Structure 1
Amino acid sequence: MPSVYQLKSRFQDLLRPLCRSLAAAGITANQVTLAALGLSVLEGLALWLFAGAFLPLLLLPVVLFIRMGLNAIDGMLAREHDQKSDLGAVLNELGDVLSDAALYLPFALLPFVSGTLVVGLVVLAVIGEMTGVIGVQIGASRRYDGPFGKSDRAVLFGLCGLLMAFGLTSPLAYQILFGAGLALAALTILNRARAAIEKKRSA
């Protein structure tokens, strides 16, 4: 199914010159991974401490875009500059789910947003990433199947942050948006589980 993840290769091509420069400067994949996590936690704290404030909400799409770029760069550093490591794999997977939680859970504090939907979305996001990793455990491959992976979640929450920053506080609008996200997150879990099993069977 369609997903923002399908644009990843083009995004990486744009970032490759910067990636080469970082590698030449001695920057490691793990340092980039930790930088992405640190940035996410700082933005999450701002969203939590200043719930509903204009600037943190306006900055959210920017932070999410930078995080996406850092996530792409750490992968390229690992693969293309011989920086793969067990620690890197652990940091990469944990960093993604911790960043999601830090950035998205503060939305549950807003009075016009259903906290249940937001928490449910974050929980399903964690399960979805875990399902992707299970593909490796059963001898298939790490699954990134959509329709609602990490990049798609970033688009949804970035859009919501932008709408909120400019005054859209309709509870119905966010019930629809986050409700749709919840359904797509559940479908993503099913798709990743099915794809991993099919991949294993065809191997």
Structure 2
Amino acid sequence: MISIYELKPKFQQMLMPFVDYLYKHNVTPNQVTVSACLLSIIIGMLFYFNFESGWIYAVLPVFMFVRMAMNAIDGVLAKKFNLESRLGKFLNELTDVISDTVLFIPFILLTQTFQAAVIIFIALSIISEMSGVLAEVTSGKRRYDGPMGKSDRAFLIGAVSVLILFSVPLEPYLHIVFIAASLLIAVNIYKRVLGGLEEN
């Protein structure tokens, strides 16, 4: 299935000037990773306490794009300039699930029916990333299979935010959106586990 992740090589190429700039100014991949997580926590808190304000739904899609860019930059910076580290691997995986959690939780306040759909979405998002990491442990290759991988989830949240910003009455149907997304995440979990097993 098609995933936004497949566009990553072109996206990384576009970000190369930023990568070179950061390297020249002694910014490390881990600093970028931690900064993206801290910004996610700040935006998540702002979202939680301002979910009834229109401006937050303009901020969210912009930030989701910025976060995707930062997630790509840290990896390119590490590989291009041989700055990879074991700490970086831990930070990369842990900060991703922390960021997802704090950014997604506020949608519970918007979901009018079956709020547990948001919790299921968050839980499966974490399991999805765990599956990708475990695939690397067993086969040596990190799995990023879609559909509804990290980049797809960021796009979904951005799209939902834009619709709400433009007063599309989406709230009564948010549980359906999150259930559908969760089913797609379940597919990627299966694919990541299967792919990890087939690598051997």
TM-score band, normalised by the shorter chain? over 0.9
Letter in 2 for 1:59: V
**What is the CA-CA distance between 1:50 and the residue it aligns to?**
1.1
User: Following the alignment from structure 2 to structure 1, what is the Cα–Cα distance between the partners of residues 176 and 111?
Assistant: 16
Per the TM alignment, residue 171 of structure 1 is displaced from its structure 2 partner at its CA by: 4.2
**Which residue is 1:11 aligned to?**
11
CA deviation after TM superposition for structure 1 residue 172, in Å: 4.6
Q: Which amino acid in the other structure matches residue 123 of structure 1?
A: A
Structure 2 alignment gaps of length 5 or more = none
Give the aligned CA root-mean-square deviation in angstroms: 1.3
d(CA) in 2 for partners of 1:46, 1:113: 23
Would you say the 8 A contact 2:110–2:171 is kept in 1?
no
Q: Does 1:169 align with 2:176?
A: no
Letter in 1 for 2:110: L
User: How high is the TM-score relative to the length of structure 1?
Assistant: 0.94
Q: 1:52 to 1:114 in 2, by over 3 A?
A: farther
Shift of 1:111: 4.7
Query: What corresponds to 2:135 in structure 1?
Result: 135
CA distance in 2, matches of 1:115, 1:34: 30
Change in Cα spacing, 1:50 to 1:94, as seen in structure 2 (3 Å) is same
What stretches of structure 1 move > 6 A for 4+ residues in a row?
none
Corresponding pairs, count: 200
Counterpart of 2:147 in 1: which secondary structure? coil
Equivalent position of 2:66 in the other structure: 66
Trace 1:1-203 onto structure 2 (pairs within 5 A). 1-112=1-112, 114-200=114-200
Task: Give the Cα separation in 2 of the matches to 1:118 and 1:82.
Answer: 39
Deviates more, 1:63-72 or 1:166-175: 166-175
Deviation digits for residues 135-181 of structure 1 (CA, Å, limit 9, x no counterpart): 12113311000111000001111111111122223445323322210
Distance change >3 Å, CA 150–CA 113, structure 1 → 2:
farther
Pair 1:113–1:97, CA change in 2 (3 A): farther
Question: For the residues of structure 2 that align with 1:143 and 1:62, how far apart are their CA atoms?
Answer: 27
More deviation, 63-72/114-123: 114-123
What is the CA–CA distance in structure 2 between the aligned matches of 1:113 and 1:140, rounded to whole Å? 42
The residue matched to 1:152 in structure 2 has which SS?
helix
